[in-house]
């Protein structure tokens, strides 16, 4: 029994391997890039529009609304990063209805790479928004004693992000594989249906958590003057 | 024969430990999820207007609580299917 699609190797030459994770990741990337290119190449601004344009507009405006709800003021600036995360994880998890497909998100390498992207992007957005000094100062909030704990939380939440996605998707495929040996016909299908729901929820969670982290890194200095004003007024 | 004993001990310890891991590790998240769903339901019954916000926060919270149980599951799966001690004993 395979723990992750890393162990399914299609082609090998020396130490260069093509495993299922790489193949399916690139396949998904190809499908998504080519698909959105062909759809967006003939956009229309009139009332007559294709159904594919409609579905893309629904997805993009939905993601924008969600980002704004979580607390980022300029959702369009973060749409490229957060939308990519959501769409890639969502499509990767939804494709499990295709027979023979193994979700690349069920491999710890993929989820670790995605979590590392978040780990790098959060300080970058924070520094861009409030400068290096102010951003570094947020690590010593509320007191300097909290500095090591803030750094630990930065690392542990990245780890948690990776393991959460990996564990959920891996457990879905594992349960289907185990059920196939016990009750072959109906129950695996039900578990795959549950896996679709879990996959979408996990894609949503991953992008919402990334949004929350970015919001926490960029928000600080906007709120602090307000609080100071309030305390000044009260005094 | 000595090798056999080592691998048997490692196998038994791994299997028993993985069972205990998932069994005990699921207790806490189960209690937490039950409490959070119950609280969310009662607050949605009191304020139906806020149900959209409550549902979104509930889903995020449930996934975060559930990830604790998932950590235990990952550990038990590693102990059974990708046991590092087992591979070490074989080589």
pLDDT digits 0-9 by tens, B7-28: 888 888 999 999 999 999 999 9
**Average pLDDT of span A55-77:** 90
pLDDT at A233: 53
Across the A:B interface, residue pairs with CB atoms under 8 Å apart total 40
Tell me the shortest Cα–Cα distance from A220 to chain B, in angstroms: 21
pLDDT at B41: 95
Give the H/E segment covering residue A11: strand A9-13
User: Of A9-13, A107-111, A201-205, A222-226, which range is least confident?
Assistant: A222-226
Tell me the shortest Cα–Cα distance from B66 to chain A, in angstroms: 9
Total domain count for chain B?
1
pLDDT at A11: 83
The range of the structural domain enclosing residue B78 comes to: 2-90
* H helical segments located in chain A: 20-40, 51-70, 75-94, 108-137, 147-182, 187-234
Inter-chain contact B70–A171, Cβ cutoff 8 Å? Answer: yes
Q: In percent, how much of chain A has pLDDT > 70?
A: 93
Taking the model in full, what pTM does it have? 0.83
Task: Identify whether the C-beta of residue A229 lies closer than 8 Å to the C-beta of residue A196.
Answer: no
Mutation target for A interface from B74, B78, B83, B86: give the one with most A CBs within 10 A: B74
Mutation target for A interface from B64, B66, B76, B80: give the one with most A CBs within 10 A: B66
Q: Is 60 exceeded by the pLDDT of residue A224?
A: no
Nearest-by-Cβ selection for A167 from B64, B71, B82: B71
Cβ neighbours of A100 (radius 10 Å) = 5
Q: Is 70 exceeded by the pLDDT of residue A234?
A: no
pLDDT at A1: 66
The pLDDT tens digits for A173-202 are 888 888 888 888 888 888 899 899 889 989
For chain A, the structural domain boundaries read: 5-234
**Average pLDDT of span A6-10:** 82
Inter-chain contact B70–A168, Cβ cutoff 8 Å? Answer: yes
The average confidence (pLDDT) of chain B is 87
Q: Is 90 exceeded by the pLDDT of residue B55?
A: no
Tell me the shortest Cα–Cα distance from A137 to chain B, in angstroms: 28
Q: What is the CATH number of the domain that holds B86?
A: 1.20.20.10
Give the H/E segment covering residue A17: strand A16-19
pLDDT at A223: 52
**Does A164 touch chain B if contact means CB atoms closer than 8 Å?**
yes
Inter-chain contact B67–A167, Cβ cutoff 8 Å? Answer: yes
The residues, any chain, with a CB within 8 Å of residue A72's CB and separated by 6 or more, are A78, A211, A214, A215, A218
Task: Identify whether the C-beta of residue A5 lies closer than 8 Å to the C-beta of residue A17.
Answer: no
């Amino acid at each position: 029994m395979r723990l992750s699609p890393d162990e399914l190797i299609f082609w090998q030459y020396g130490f260069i391997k093509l495993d299922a994770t790489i193949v399916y990741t690139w396949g998904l990337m190809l499908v998504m890039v080519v698909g959105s290119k062909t759809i967006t190449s003939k956009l229309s601004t009139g009332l007559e529009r294709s159904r594919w344009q409609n579905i893309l507009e629904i997805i993009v405006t939905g993601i924008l609304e969600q980002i704004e709800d979580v607390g980022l003021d300029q959702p369009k600036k973060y749409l490229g990063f957060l939308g990519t995360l959501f769409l890639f994880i969502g499509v990767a998890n939804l494709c499990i209805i295709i027979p023979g497909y193994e979700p690349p998100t069920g491999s710890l390498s993929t989820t670790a790479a995605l979590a590392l992207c978040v780990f790098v992007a959060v300080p970058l957005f924070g520094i861009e928004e409030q400068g290096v000094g102010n951003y570094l100062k947020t690590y010593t909030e509320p007191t300097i004693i909290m500095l090591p704990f803030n750094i630990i939380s930065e690392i542990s939440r990245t780890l948690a992000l990776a393991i959460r996605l990996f564990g959920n998707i891996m457990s879905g495929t594992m349960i289907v594989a185990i059920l196939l040996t016990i009750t072959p016909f109906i129950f695996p299908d039900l578990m795959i249906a549950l896996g679709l729901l879990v996959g979408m929820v996990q894609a949503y969670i991953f992008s919402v958590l990334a949004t929350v982290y970015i919001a926490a890194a960029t928000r600080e200095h906007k709120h602090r003057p307000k609080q100071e004003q309030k305390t000044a007024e009260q005094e | 024969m000595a090798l056999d004993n080592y691998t048997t001990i490692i196998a038994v310890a791994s299997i028993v430990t993985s069972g205990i891991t998932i069994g005990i590790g699921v207790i806490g998240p189960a209690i937490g999820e039950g409490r959070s769903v119950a609280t969310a339901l009662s607050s949605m019954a009191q304020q139906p207007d806020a149900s959209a916000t409550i549902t979104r926060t509930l889903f995020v919270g449930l996934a975060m609580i559930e990830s604790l149980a998932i950590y235990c599951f990952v550990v038990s799966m590693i102990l059974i299917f990708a046991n590092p001690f087992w591979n070490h004993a074989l080589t």
